Chain A
Amino acid sequence: MGAERSRASRTAAALLAAAFALPLAALVVRAFADEWRAPAVVPQQFGLRGVHEAFSSMSLEAFGNSLLVAGLTLAAALALGWPAARVLGERRLRHPALIFGLLALPLLVPSYATGTGLTEWFLRFGLADSLLALVLAHLVLVLPYVVVVLLAGFGPALRDLEEMGDVHGLSRPARLWLVTLPAVRPTLAAAALVGFLVSWSEYGSSLAVGGGRPMLPLVLLPFVGSDPEVAAALSLLFLLPAVAALVAATHAAREPL
């Protein structure tokens, strides 16, 4: 009875997991299908037309822009988020709930709204349509995620480890390198992954402040209705850095101190 129930539960879990994973696989087939007319379940002709289009100069420029903005945003978010998360994680604030609430607010407000509001200031300060404007607009959304994930890595356990490092005469840079960073590595990796993914997939604020600068989500969208093969190929290009970031973060999170 027990074994039967366990088998049924395992089957149900596997079916559920497959139901979520399988639809994505069709994207790969569509990207290489030059001809796939209904009602055929299998493409009539495979080819590389979609891939060639996905690697056109405009798409590659958009890919580079998205990657650059996501990288710069993530670097800024980690640099600003680290001290904030440390203070919150070590409960050094008198009213942490208030600060936490304020910090979480950008997660609740549509990114298109923050982008629209920021455009007003960027125009005044001569930053409109610049790369810096895009990074700042993305930072508003990425920073809360990075802080929320990072603060799980800070607390009494890390402080004890750092004190042990002090007792053994480690300098501050050595302590950071040999104790703090290895200890928070899984959390840091998770924060970096989430931050990268949020910026990489961001659509609303890129549209609001980008000033027509090609970004991958903006370039992809018009193809969805007009050319599914190119849309699928661009989707794979869009997916690639996200998967690479996931693999890198999973690898970095192994064997913390």
Chain B
Amino acid sequence: MLFGGALAGALRTSLQPLGGPVSLQTWRELLADPAFGQALGFTAGIAGLATAASAILALVIALVLRRHGGALRALLALPVPVPHLLVAVVAVLWLAPGGLAERLLGVLPVDLVHDRAGLGIVAVYVYKETPFLVLLLLAAAGRGLAQREEMAAALGVSRAQRLRWVIWPALRGPLVVGSIVVAAFVLGAFEVPQVVGPTSPLTVAEYARQATENDLIGGEGLRAAALLVSAAAAIALAALAVRLAKDVDGR
């Protein structure tokens, strides 16, 4: 009820920003703004790259770690309870010009803080989300998977075949669900882009925040409309991902 009310409230604010008659003026303004188009593309790029990189890395790490015990898993899991904002603070500490990485290595091959490509934002999300996905995958793997793998090996199934027919089916579901949560978060959060992202282009959430900073009253409608677009994108993406994951195996 609260969530439905929130979406209805955001929709109403976008259609009646100043409490006047219902109008599509805010939506027209938003869709005609080239900065919003840039923000949408930039956000989608970051979300896609961060999610794909985290998912691939998590899969590799889970395959390496699945036979290792508690201490290593606990070390790897350290970033999970750490808030995103703190990871962004750590990123600035290490990756900013004159930061620890530059002091230790002499020079960094690419700019990662406030860079126009948003690679710093991607790096923060990969660092933060990969352990979360690894934990999901390891929980799904459990002891049952190891037993099934051993049985398959005893029956003469090759490593590649075990990976395709025993391991992947067990990990695919949690990987898709976890990736959806990660992508949705990246699409909507703005504390990380605010700390390590560029001033232009903006992410959609930052665009929304700045809309009210620039125009406290009129910007409310623009903010609500922009956020509704990213909410719709996240829901559509989740539906598509679930559909694709089902189609791969036909179930």
Q: Show the binding face of A for B, using Cβ within 8 Å.
A: 9-10, 12-14, 16-18, 20-21, 23-24, 26-27, 30, 38-41, 105-121, 136, 139-140, 193, 197, 200-201, 203-204, 207, 217, 220-221, 224-225, 228, 231-232, 235, 238-239, 242-243, 245-246
Contact = CB atoms under 8 A, between A and B. Distances in A.
Contact of A110 (B82, B89, B90, B230): B230
Contacts of B188: 109-113, 204
B195 A38 contact: no
A59 B184 CA distance: 30
Nearest to A193: B81
A241 B134 CA distance: 24
Contact of B9 (A112, A121, A238): A121
Interface stretch (B34-42, B48-56, B67-75, B168-176): B67-75
Contact of B78 (A24, A38, A113): A24
B214 to A, nearest CB: 16
Contacts of B223: 116
| A interface: dominant SS | helix
A41 B78 contact: no
Contacts of B89: 27, 220, 224, 231-232, 235
Closest 10 CB pairs of A and B: A110-B188, A201-B83, A117-B10, A120-B9, A117-B9, A117-B6, A113-B227, A17-B75, A38-B98, A114-B6
A242 B75 contact: no
| B interface: dominant SS | helix
A139 B3 CA distance: 9
Interface in B1-23: 2-3, 5-13
Contact of B227 (A110, A203, A238): A110
Given A107-B181, A109-B234, A110-B187, A201 B227 contact: no
Nearest to B188: A110
B209 A112 contact: yes
Nearest to A123: B9
A3 B60 CA distance: 21
Interface string B177-190: 00011001001111
B78 A116 contact: no
Contacts of B7: 109, 113-114, 117
Nearest to B224: A116
Nearest to A6: B67
Nearest to B1: A140
Contacts of A23: 90, 93-94, 127
